[in-house]
């Protein structure tokens, strides 16, 4: 029963979300203009979740990319493509739509 209610909860939240945005099932990225660039460049070294869990404006995303290029061996992305990518990130993962999830229930937290 418990498993079932978790599933029902997940389904409910997925379907309510799906009304506003389509999510690529492989990467978890929101499908919108430029998402293929994020799919091509942003999942090679770490999970896409590291991307989708972040929020920020264009300046934030640009500096995150610069930081990875400076310190984490991220390759150069051609400028025109990079602009589309940053526009995508800033539009879909902007701090203004930062929605905090509800707190985890006690049984999901590490023991103290």
What residue ranges bind ligand HEC (CB under 6 A)?
41-42, 44-46, 50-51, 54, 64-65, 68, 72-74, 89
Supply the minimum distance, in Å, between the C-beta of residue 31 and ligand HEC.
16
Structure-block tokens of residue 104 = 């985890």
Supply the minimum distance, in Å, between the C-beta of residue 8 and ligand HEC.
31
Q: Distance between CA atoms of 110 and 112, rounded to whole angstroms? A: 6
- Give the sign of the dihedral formed by CA 63, CA 64, CA 67, CA 69: negative
Q: Are 23 and 29 in contact (CB under 8 A)?
A: yes
CB atoms within 10 A of CB 13: 11
Decide whether 4 or 99 has the Cβ nearer to ligand HEC.
99
Decide whether 70 or 101 has the Cβ nearer to ligand HEC.
70
Supply the minimum distance, in Å, between the C-beta of residue 46 and ligand HEC.
5
Q: Distance between CA atoms of 15 and 20, rounded to whole angstroms? A: 9
Residue indicated by tokens 């309510």:
16
Supply the minimum distance, in Å, between the C-beta of residue 75 and ligand HEC.
7
Decide whether 80 or 111 has the Cβ nearer to ligand HEC.
80
Decide whether 8 or 45 has the Cβ nearer to ligand HEC.
45
């Amino acid at each position: 029963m418990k498993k079932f209610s978790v599933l029902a909860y997940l389904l409910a939240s997925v379907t309510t979300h799906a009304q506003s945005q389509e999510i690529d099932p492989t990467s978890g990225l929101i499908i919108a203009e430029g998402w293929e660039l994020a799919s091509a460049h942003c999942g090679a070294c770490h999970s896409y979740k590291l991307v989708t869990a972040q929020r920020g404006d264009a300046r934030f995303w640009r500096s995150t990319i610069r930081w990875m290029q400076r310190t984490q061996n991220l390759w150069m992305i051609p400028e025109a493509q990079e602009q589309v990518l940053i526009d995508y990130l800033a539009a879909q993962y902007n701090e203004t739509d930062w929605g905090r999830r509800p707190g985890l229930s006690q049984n999901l937290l590490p023991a103290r």
